[in-house]
Amino acid sequence: MNIVLYGNGSSGNHGCEAIIRGTVALLGAEKNSFRIQSAGPQEDKSYGLGSLAQIFPATCAYKKGFLFLKAYLKLKLTGNYTDMDGLSYLPGIRQASVGTDIALSVGGDNYCYGSTGIYGHLNQAYRKNGIKTALWGCSIEPNAV
């Protein structure tokens, strides 16, 4: 299987590093290939995760177009910035979708704080690109909005 691991802050947060290492060990690098969509690709490489998986930046510049206009209008009309923040993730998600079987959200405690809307947005973007998703190694705070 081709597996994307997303929601990874970077290995500077050793909890994120542990989840990545544990996931690769548990699911097996010999029978699966892994791609990490990382907020800190250089840091992940410095901690040796490049020997376990391909590492790519989670975000990159996004060209302005219809989706930008739609997100901008949503921000101005509703104050909801989730779509605007999510734009920079879309190119990486599209690139990762080629040949990917599943995307695992491995962000550890990402779901324990406010402003978790971006993770729902990322989940929807992976699913729109035909990739099944799952929460993996995530703590979830029921009262976080």
CATH topology of domain 2-60+88-135: Rossmann fold (3.40.50)
Residue 145 has a pLDDT of 57
Cα maximum dimension of the chain: 49
Q: Is the pLDDT of residue 140 over 80?
A: no
Structure tokens at 73: 């209008």
Contact between 44 and 8 (Cβ < 8 Å)? yes
Q: Is the pLDDT of residue 123 over 80?
A: yes
Residue 144 has a pLDDT of 65
Q: What is the pTM of this model?
A: 0.86
17-50 pLDDT per residue, tens: 889 999 999 999 889 999 999 989 999 999 999 9
Element holding 102 (H helix, E strand): strand 102-105
Contact between 118 and 80 (Cβ < 8 Å)? no
Query: What does the domain layout of the chain look like in residue ranges?
Result: 2-60+88-135
Residue 48 has a pLDDT of 93
Contact between 1 and 32 (Cβ < 8 Å)? yes
Beta-carbon contacts of 6 under 8 Å, excluding residues fewer than 6 positions away, are 36, 37, 58, 96, 103, 104, 105, 106, 107, 122, 126
